[in-house]
A and B are shown apart, each in its own frame.
Chain A
Amino acid sequence: MKPPPFGYHRARDVAGATALVAELGEDAKFLAGGQSLIPMMNFRLARPAHLVDIARLGELSFLRRDDDRLHVGALTTHHEVESAPDRSVRGFEVVREAMRWIGHLPIRTRGTAGGSLAHGDATAEWCLLAVLLDAEIVTASPRGSRVIPAGEAFLGFFTTLLEPDELIVEVVFPKPAPHAALTEFAERRGDFAIVAAAVDLDVAGGRVTGGRVVLGGVAPVPLRVPAAEALLGAGERADAELFAACGRAAAEAVDPPDGPGPGADYRRSLVRALVARACEEALAR
């Protein structure tokens, strides 16, 4: 289980990184934390001819507030976010708390927000959070920079809107989500979720006036569930009954894969339980 050969290049700045990947062509890839790319290379499931190591781009490693917005630099590690002080994530606690679901400590000390988003795993916590909170993914490429709304970023199974030479620079969460939560279930601590559920509630006077429900593990991309969200928009009392109904609605709305591993019925059951649980946790925040 040794990786295939490749040429190694170390980028000095963002412009250099994207220019180099553009020049090296299709088989060149950015290397960030390597926690997704290197296992795939060790299994020889990925065989980039060139890797452009972006880890030294210190300017991409930050967690910053500007007014209501939370900016997370692409190279910020899961662990840096997990250990962020209260003040820098106030209103965005869901982002920090979600980090503990990502693998294990030694994965989180290397893996990055940008790498996760670019990898585009439909159960990845960063992808779910980005869709849940309407994040903007800011990128740079030789053609300039652009902003990709998270809702449009994920196209299919491990496929995103990113061009090969397009580098994620940061992800921006536009407004606080004080009543949001992400929860999931896997057979074993640290595994990728079988099903993950993230919710963001608008709560006023003990009633839920709006909300978002995003699921991982039931579709090739992080999936919003309008049928469940509709229940949250009706101004009902914020209680277990509503949350259970929301879980049921979500379970009915999804059509999970029935491949090897956990079956569709089981995933649907998990959706029911986890959406309800995420709602409870979101309310309790």
Chain B
Amino acid sequence: MREPGFTADGTWVGASVKRKEDPRLLTGRARFVDDIHLPRMLHAQFVRSSVAAGEITSVDLSRVRDVPGVVAAFTAADLDLGDITAVLDRPRSEFVPTAMPVLARDRVRFVGEPIAIVLAEDAYAVEDGLEAAEVTYRAGTPVLSEEQALAPGAPLVHDEAADNVLLDVSMFATEGIDDIFADAPCVVSVRATTGRQNALPLETRGVVASWDARAGQLLVQTCTQVPHVVRTVLAGCLGRPENTVRVVVPDMGGGFGIKCVVGREEIAVAAASLRVGRPVKWIEDRKDALTASFLAREQRYQARAAFDEAGRILALDADVLCDMGAYSCYPFSAGIEPLMASAEMPGVYRVPAYRVRGRAITTNKAPTAPYRGVSRPQYVMVMERLFERAARELGLGPVEIRRRNLITTFPYTGVNGITYDPGSYLESLNLAERVLTEEGWYERQRELAGQGRFLGIGYSCFNERTGYGSDAFAKRRMAVVPGFDISEIRMDTSGTVVATTGTMSHGQSHETTMAQIVADRLGLDLDHVFIQQGDTDRVAYGWGTFASRSITIGGSAVGLAAGRLGDKLLHIGAHLLRTRPDNVELSGGRVRKCDDHTRSLSYVDIAEVAYLKAHLLPKDVDPGLTATASFDGIGDGTFSNASHGVVVELHAGTGQVEILRYACVEDCGVAINPQVVEGQARGGIAQGIAGALFEQVTYDEQGEPSAASFIDYKVPTACEIPDISIHHLETPSAFTGNGAKGVGEGGTIGAPAAVLNAVNDALRPTGVELDDTPITPERVLGALEVRWTTR
């Protein structure tokens, strides 16, 4: 009954079993939101603002309603919905809550902001309708940069946020830090900016809303990472009890964070559907997804670090400013990026003194949401640049200076008050270096330098905090605090198990990996285990999938629930086998007597008693085979870690950065399914490379976004992303039910730093250093040509 995928010691956990998700995805039988067809369904799109800042002076939809096929069109006034407001439990001096209306009322704050919703019989007619809308504006002056936002007397994006600042926190400020900088033998600084990016799941956002008259429920089928959160907000905005809303998530084509916030379009579509009494579908088109959805990552760092002569870091001082765009996302708020950066910037290093100021500003650009890694790709990049720069100043090797500063004894409580569980920081760096050394890249670099070619080698070391529990999120002072997860497990009369999870897989393979956990706990074949997710009526309240929390927290809950179900099976089995409870065990889908393996009962036998012959159950056991468990993150969570080593060549004629070698040494504790872990790492690294070298959304002076198509927004292809070798280390987590650490974001976190360091290593002969991303060929060539012209 066990398959080849099984590990040698007979467990599912640790085996690269084929995914349960795959057959339907490979045959076209999966069901994504846009695959849903309902009778009488209408198609929605949005009239969107064409100006970045201004007052709406009129909205005339009368011609829209005359377009053939158009059924209805509504403005904010027509639908009269509550606002979406993300709140932090912080004083107003630190955080200013701002409301995001579902449809813009009298003011618009970015190009693409939804103003009206149009419903039509098909997806073509609805676009004809949009063209007939007439909106007039009194355009204001848009605020589009840090300079413009913070200038005295700048126009305000939100009247309540004076200075256009939504969050301003100063943290840690170790006593005497100024003296440390004054006395230190070596002080280096980095100013870096990172480009505004789009998380860009290949499936855009979408929703189908319909009224289920029999259940008296609004059914909202949507691709969200956080179904329960969407239900809560929907019910709030619509002013109806939560039990009358059901959110169901079908198959989902990626999310990467953009789908873990509540979008205003979902709410408008639901309201419009209720209004017209027909199902309504909205599928975001790519143009809107690129310009009017949630973006991320536009940050500016001004950081300095003090070092002693031996290259040991003495202090870190950083000013972090994040351009969060026009609105605060729900539930995380505009504080998400600066708070993450401020709290965690010291990372894997022993930083004795730390001071940080983190700010979120609001501008007339599309709003932002968490995106895979949230600030960590940026602050890791800045930290790693600081170390490289110090190494140059002190004449140390870039790897050596890191070795002298990495945390090596655990648990370690940092200057930022976070306690790090054991990891393999030093070991992973050493291994990454060894891989590149043994392959001869350093020799190759010397060789090519002789020919006037530019080869560079770069590293990054980082950790990834995962499994944030309620306590950890409470430290962020969110008004709603995510953290725990609940799992309910049920065995039916055929001996098949269904376990629910409040997490929401959208590519991460949870239907497989969580089933592996359950199968082991119950001694069951994987084919008999099913994971159920993404239905607020069938799954207990859960926080969805983000922040690499699914396996650590969701997986732990599932494991605990399975354990409880196992106890019940043992209890009943022992009773039916007429033996002591401690003389039975679970294996191969049976309860066996320990002292006599020939005596056993199959789960089907036990299920039959539990459901169909309940009179045979022990007196202290309830009928049925169900169990429930919850799990919450422990302490500060658990930290996976990795080191990346990269080799690049810069091409002199074009400035092209070619990645010749990419090695990733990762440690995520127990890998439930190594192939899935590698997939997460590779995919994450690809996104990190995209941010380092290719992708950016810019705006012209009017606030018009530059990239409305894939021609301009340069998602890299197979020719730009290199093959990546993955090397596993394993430091099991003591804080999760299965020894696993989260692994969803690491690749993305480490890649920009490693690539940037490699590029700068290659640029060494030019004396130019590039600290801003994306590093386009144009900028590389500029750097290379500086050298030519100054010669």
Interface residues of A (CB under 8 A from B): 1-5, 43-44, 185, 187-192, 260-263, 265-266, 269-270, 272-274, 276-277
Please measure, in the bound complex, the distance between the C-alpha atom of A185 and the C-alpha atom of B776, giving whole angstroms: 13
Q: How far is the CA of A185 from the CA of B657 in the complex (A)?
A: 12
Among residues of B, the one whose C-beta sits closest to the C-beta of A1 is B285
- Residues facing A in B409-463 (CB within 8 A) are none
| Residues B709 and A272 in contact, CB atoms below 8 Å apart | no
Partner pick for B653 among A1, A2, A191, A272, CB 8 A cutoff: A272
Question: Which range contains the number of B residues in contact with the other chain?
Answer: 20 to 34
Known: A187-B694, A191-B714. 14 other contacts (CB 8 A): A43-B709, A44-B131, A185-B777, A187-B656, A187-B777, A189-B719, A189-B720, A190-B719, A265-B782, A266-B655, A270-B653, A273-B652, A274-B653, A276-B653
Q: Is B770's beta carbon under 8 Å from chain A?
A: no
Q: Are A192 and B785 in touch, CB under 8 angstroms? A: no
Does B719 lie within 8 Å of A269, measured CB to CB?
no
Question: Which of B55-63, B120-128, B166-174 lies at the interface with chain A?
Answer: B120-128
CA distance A261 to B123 in the complex (A): 33
Q: What are 14 A-B pairs at a CB distance below 8 A?
A: A1-B286, A2-B127, A4-B127, A43-B287, A43-B709, A185-B656, A187-B777, A188-B717, A189-B718, A189-B720, A260-B698, A265-B782, A266-B777, A269-B653
Q: Indicate which residue in B131, B652, B711, B781 contacts A192 across the interface (CB closer than 8 Å).
A: B711
A160→B568 CA distance, assembly (Å) = 80
Chain A residues contacting B579 (CB-CB under 8 Å) are none
Bound CA span A4–B653, Å? 43
Q: In the docked arrangement, what's the CA distance between A269 and B720, Å? A: 22
Asked if A273 contacts B653 (CB within 8 A), the reply is: yes
A269 and B124: CB pair below 8 A? no
Known: A2-B124, A269-B781. A189 touches B717 (CB 8 A): yes
Partner of A270, one of B127, B287, B654: B654
**How many Å from the CB of B263 to the closest CB on chain A?**
19
- Within the complex, the shortest CB–CB distance from A263 to chain B, in Å, comes to 7
Question: Separation in Å of the B723 CB from the closest CB of chain A?
Answer: 15
A190 touches B287 (CB 8 A): no
| Pairs of residues from A and B, 6 with the lowest C-beta to C-beta distance, nearest first | A273-B653, A189-B719, A266-B778, A1-B285, A2-B124, A185-B654
Q: Find the B residue at minimum CB distance from A189.
A: B719
Given contacts A43-B287, A44-B131, contact A187 B776 (CB under 8 A): yes
Residues of B close to A4: CB separation below 8 A: 127-128
Cα A3 to Cα B128 in complex, Å, equals 9
B716: Cβ under 8 A from any A Cβ:
yes
Q: Which of A2, A192, A277 has the most CB of B within 10 A?
A: A2
A273 and B654 contacting across the interface, CB-CB below 8 Å:
yes
Task: Determine the chain B residues whose CB is within 8 A of the CB of A266 once the complex forms.
Answer: 655, 777-778, 781-782
Q: Which residues of A contact B285 (CB under 8 A)?
A: 1
> How far apart are the CA atoms of A261 and B776 in the complex, in Å?
11
A residues within 8 A CB of B782? 265-266
Contacts of B716 in A (CB 8 A): 188
Residue-by-residue, is B488-530 near A (CB-CB < 8 Å gives 1, otherwise 0)? 0000000000000000000000000000000000000000000
Q: Tell me which residues across on chain A come within 8 A of B653, comparing CB atoms.
A: 269-270, 272-274, 276-277
B interface: dominant SS? loop
Cα-based distance from A190 to B717 in the complex (angstroms): 9
Bound-state CA distance A192–B712 (Å) is: 11
| Inter-chain contact B127/A44, CB cutoff 8 Å | yes
**Chain A residues, Cβ within 8 Å of B717:** 188-190
Q: Which of B124-158 contact A (CB under 8 A)?
A: 124, 127-128, 131
Interface core residue of A1, A3, A192 (most chain B CB under 10 Å): A1
CB of A75, distance to nearest CB on chain B (Å): 25
B78 within 8 A of A: no
Is there an interface contact between B714 and A187, defined as CB atoms closer than 8 Å? yes
**Bound: A232/B720 CA distance, A:** 35
Does B706 count as interface, using CB distance less than 8 angstroms? yes
Q: How far is the CA of A190 from the CA of B711 in the complex (A)?
A: 10
Residues of B within 8 A of A262 (CB): 776, 778
Q: In the complex, what's the smallest C-beta–C-beta distance from A83 to chain B, in angstroms?
A: 20
How far apart sit A277 and B700, CA to CA, in the bound complex (Å)?
34
Residue of B nearest to A269 (CB): B781
Q: How far is the CB of B691 from chain A (nearest CB, A)?
A: 14
Interface string of B723-747 (1 = CB under 8 A from A): 0000000000000000000000000
Distance between Cα atoms of A260 and B551 in the complex (Å): 44
Contact status A188-B127, CB under 8 Å: no
A188 to B654, CA, bound (A): 12
Nearest CB in chain B to that of A191: its residue = B711
Among residues 741 to 791 in chain B, which have CB atoms less than 8 Å away from a CB atom of chain A?
A: 776-778, 781-782, 785
Q: Contacts A43-B709, A44-B131, A277-B653; is A188 near B778 (CB within 8 Å)?
A: no
Q: Given the complex, which residues of B lie within 8 Å of A2, measured CB to CB?
A: 123-124, 127
- In the assembled complex, which residues on chain B have CB atoms less than 8 Å from the CB atom of A191? 711, 714
User: Chain A contacts of B131 at CB under 8 A?
Assistant: 44
| Shortest distance from the beta carbon of B700 to any chain A beta carbon, whole Å | 7
CA separation between A248 and B81, bound complex, in Å?
A: 63
A-side contacts of B123, CB under 8 Å: 2
Shortest Cβ distance from residue B300 to the other chain A in the assembled complex, whole angstroms:
22
Judging by beta carbons under 8 Å apart, are A188 and B656 in contact?
no
**In the complex, A146→B65 CA distance in Å?**
49
- Distance, CA A270 to CA B720, complexed state (A): 19
Nearest CB of A to B85, in Å: 32
| Least distance between A281 CB and chain B CB atoms (Å) | 13
Give per-residue flags for B354-395: 1 if the beta carbon is below 8 A from chain A beta carbons, else 0. Answer: 000000000000000000000000000000000000000000
Task: Pick the most buried of A188, A192, A261: most chain B CB atoms within 10 A of its CB.
Answer: A188
Chain B 689-700 near chain A by CB (<8 Å), digits 1 or 0: 000001000101
Q: How far is the CA of A162 from the CA of B656 in the complex (A)?
A: 38
Given contacts A188-B717, A263-B778, contact A1 B287 (CB under 8 A): yes
Neighbouring A residues of B712 by C-beta, 8 Å: 261
How distant is the Cα of A3 from the Cα of B698 in the complex, in angstroms? 27
A266→B776 CA distance, assembly (Å): 11
Q: What are the residues of chain A within 8 A of B287 when measuring CB–CB?
A: 1, 43
In the complex, chain B residues 172-203 whose Cβ is within 8 Å of any chain A Cβ: none
Q: In the complex, A261 Cα to B694 Cα: how many Å?
A: 12
**B229, chain A: closest CB distance, angstroms:** 29
- Find A188's partner among B286, B698, B720, B781 (CB 8 Å cutoff): B720
Complex alpha-carbon distance, A266 and B778, angstroms: 6
Q: Looking across the interface, which residue of chain B has its beta carbon closest to that of A39?
A: B709
Which residues of chain B in 89-146 are interfacial with respect to chain A, using CB atoms and an 8 Å cutoff?
Answer: 123-124, 127-128, 131
Q: Bound state CA distance, A187 and B127, in angstroms?
A: 33
Residues of A within 8 A of B286 (CB): 1
Min distance, Cβ A168 to any Cβ of chain B, angstroms: 25
Instruction: State A5–B781 Cα separation when bound (angstroms).
Output: 46
Shortest Cβ distance from residue A265 to the other chain B in the assembled complex, whole angstroms: 8
A187 to B690, CA, bound (A): 12
Cα distance, A43 to B712, chains bound together (Å): 14
Within 8 Å CB of A269, what residues of B? Answer: 653, 655, 781, 785
